[in-house]
């Protein structure tokens, strides 16, 4: 405060000229007010600790309560603290939480607010700005900024029927038509004994029950892995519907992955190239197929935060990532447009021994030409476009 400094100078001159001792006490009083206010504000700024407590992962539709705990670790009280938390508009309206409070010495206080996870994403919770100052308006202000934490909201997972997709997952005729191996851990039924069957295949309890010799039928052990290939290249979606289409594509990918792991108990992986807000750059994601639920969660986490980007052509991504898959694996290709390079890649993948399913996320039905070519290749083509459903799920 300029006025105070000017007054101090004048006061000093008056006191020195008039030589009244008490005026120096007044001078000390104002100097003390100025300096101790400053020290107090600094002390408060240095000693206030802030901690956010909340569940940092949530499903769409959940409500997350965030608790902000403030602790004054100093021996001086914090007379006033203006707390301002910046929040994502997709989670709360208005997109901030502001409060003014006071903390005594070693005082604690917590604020809480609820976030509505209406939409998948990777959201910064914060930064939190803590502003304080002196009591007399001398002009000292202190500010503390607490770095943001992040909340991951998983995408919607909906039943396959709601997406209009067949439930005989993973979208192609599996179990495979040409089983090369059989998995003795997966019994799919029994049949009558035939000459040449190994005695180890005899199902003794069923035989005893039926009164005739029965052998176990195993599920084929051809590669049962499914890789969800998600196209998030900005140019592959029509501009007007880009947001809806990509969000729907992500919901489709999450739902398929969930279906494969939870219902089918089969391994699923993810391949995509997208903008990652965590890294703040475009990144290639390849999560190799695995059947565990924990893996599903990490897959959903990636799907929660990816955004469209200007990526390398999707066909190249398919070719590159298929190299990591075993023969006979299934690729579920989710994209927004059909193109010759994409179809050529599908042909390549089929010839390489992969099962392929194509899911187009767009309002138009696949062209008859594409359908015919896909039929010829044995690639099932599905179309998903139920925009109203996307809204309903939210």
Partner 1 sequence: MNRDPCRPHPGPPPSERGRENVFRPLVVGVMFGCIAVSAVGLVRLFFPAWNGTFLVVGCVLAALEANYSYRLIRARHLWGTDRLRFRAIELALFFVLLKIGGYVGDPWTDVLADVQTWPRYPHRVVDPETAGAFVLAFLSWQAATETAHDFQLLGQPPETLRYYVSPGERLAKRFFQGGAVLLVITGVHRIGIESLLDLRRPSVHGLVLADRNPNVLIYFLLGLVMLGQVHFTRLRQQWRSQEITMIEGLAGRWVRYSLAFIGLVALLAFLLPTGYTVGLLDAVARAVSLVGGVLWFILMLLMLPLAWLLWVVLALLSRLFGGPPPARPDLGVPELPQQAEALGAAPGWFEVLRSLVFWAVALGMVVYVIRTYLRDHPEVLEALTSRGPIRALRRLLSALWRRLVGLATVVGERLPRRLSLRRARSEPREARFRFFRLGALAPRERILYYYLSVLRRAGQQGIPRGRSQTPYEYDGTLGPRLTQAEQEMRRLTEAFVEARYSRHPFDRERDRQVRTLWQRVKAALRALKQED
Shortest Cβ 368–partner 1 spacing (Å): 58
Both ends of the chain: CA-CA distance in Å?
Answer: 53
CA distance 172 to 377: 12
Q: Which stretch binds partner 1 (CB under 8 A): 77-85, 190-198, 287-295, 381-389?
A: 77-85
Shortest Cβ 43–partner 1 spacing (Å): 13
Shortest Cβ 110–partner 1 spacing (Å): 12
Q: Which two tokens stand for residue 107?
A: 């005082």
Shortest Cβ 35–partner 1 spacing (Å): 7
Q: Are 329 and 354 in contact (CB under 8 A)?
A: yes
CA distance 84 to 107: 19
CA distance 321 to 111: 47
Q: Within 193-212, which residues bind partner 1 (CB under 8 A)?
A: none
Contact between 89 and partner 1 by CB under 8 A: the answer reads no
Given 49, 57, 79, 164, the residue binding partner 1 (CB under 8 A): 79
Q: State how far Cα 299 lies from the chain centre.
A: 9
**Of 6 and 209, CB closest to partner 1:** 6
378 DSSP assignment: T
Collapse the DSSP code of 59 into the 3-class scheme (helix H, G, I; strand E, B; otherwise coil) and give the result: strand
Q: Which two tokens stand for residue 369?
A: 């030409």
Shortest Cβ 52–partner 1 spacing (Å): 18
Q: Within 95-124, which residues bind partner 1 (CB under 8 A)?
A: 98-102
CA distance 224 to 104: 63
x/- map, 131-170, partner 1, by CB under 8 A? ---xxxx-xx------------------------------
**Of 27 and 268, CB closest to partner 1:** 27
The size of the interface with partner 1 (CB under 8 A), counted in residues, is: 52
Shortest Cβ 151–partner 1 spacing (Å): 23
CA distance 250 to 363: 16
Shortest Cβ 147–partner 1 spacing (Å): 22
Q: Within 2-41, which residues bind partner 1 (CB under 8 A)?
A: 2-12, 14-16, 18-38, 40
- Cβ-in-10-Å burial (0-12, 13-18, 19+) of 29 comes to exposed
Q: Which stretch binds partner 1 (CB under 8 A): 66-74, 94-102, 146-154, 176-184?
A: 94-102
Contacts of 130 (CB under 8 A, 6+ apart): 48, 50, 70, 81, 82, 83, 84, 143, 144, 145, 146
Q: Which two tokens stand for residue 199?
A: 């005695």
Q: Which residues bind partner 1 (CB under 8 A)?
A: 1-12, 14-16, 18-38, 40, 77, 79-80, 82, 98-102, 134-137, 139-140
């Amino acid at each position: 405060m300029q006025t105070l400094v000017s007054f101090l100078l004048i006061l000093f001159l008056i006191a020195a000229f008039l030589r009244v001792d008490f005026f120096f006490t007044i001078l000390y009083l104002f100097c003390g007010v100025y300096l101790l206010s400053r020290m107090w504000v600094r002390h408060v700024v240095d000693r206030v600790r802030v901690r956010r407590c909340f569940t940092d992962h949530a499903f769409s539709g959940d409500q997350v309560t965030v608790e902000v705990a403030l602790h004054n670790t100093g021996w001086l009280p914090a007379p006033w603290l203006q707390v301002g938390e910046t929040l994502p508009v997709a989670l709360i309206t208005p997109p901030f939480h502001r409060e003014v409070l006071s903390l005594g010495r070693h005082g604690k206080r917590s604020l809480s607010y609820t976030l509505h996870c209406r939409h998948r994403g990777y959201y910064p919770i914060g930064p939190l700005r803590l502003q304080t100052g002196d009591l007399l308006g001398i002009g000292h202000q202190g500010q503390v900024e607490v770095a943001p934490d992040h909340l991951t909201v998983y995408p919607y997972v909906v039943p396959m029927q709601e997406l209009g997709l067949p439930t005989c997952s993973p979208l192609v005729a599996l179990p495979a038509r040409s089983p090369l191996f059989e998995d003795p851990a997966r019994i799919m039924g029994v049949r009558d004994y035939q000459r040449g069957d190994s005695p180890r295949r005899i199902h003794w309890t069923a035989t005893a029950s039926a009164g005739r010799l029965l052998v176990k039928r195993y599920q084929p052990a051809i590669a049962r892995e499914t890789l969800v290939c998600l196209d998030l290249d900005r140019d592959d979606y029509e501009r007007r519907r880009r947001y809806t289409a990509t969000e729907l594509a992500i919901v489709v990918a999450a739902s398929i992955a969930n279906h494969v792991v939870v219902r089918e108990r089969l391994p699923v992986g993810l391949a995509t190239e997208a903008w990652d807000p965590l890294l703040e750059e475009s990144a290639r994601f390849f999560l190799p197929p695995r059947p565990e639920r924990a893996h599903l969660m990490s897959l959903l986490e990636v799907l929660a935060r990816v955004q469209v980007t200007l990526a390398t052509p999707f066909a190249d991504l398919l070719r590159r990532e298929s190299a990591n898959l075993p023969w006979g694996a299934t690729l579920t290709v989710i994209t927004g447009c059909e193109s010759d390079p994409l179809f050529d890649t599908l042909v390549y993948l089929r010839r390489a021994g992969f099962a392929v399913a194509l899911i187009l996320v767009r309002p138009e039905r696949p062209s008859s030409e594409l359908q015919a070519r896909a039929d010829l290749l044995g690639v099932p083509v599905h179309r998903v476009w139920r925009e109203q459903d996307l809204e309903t799920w939210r």
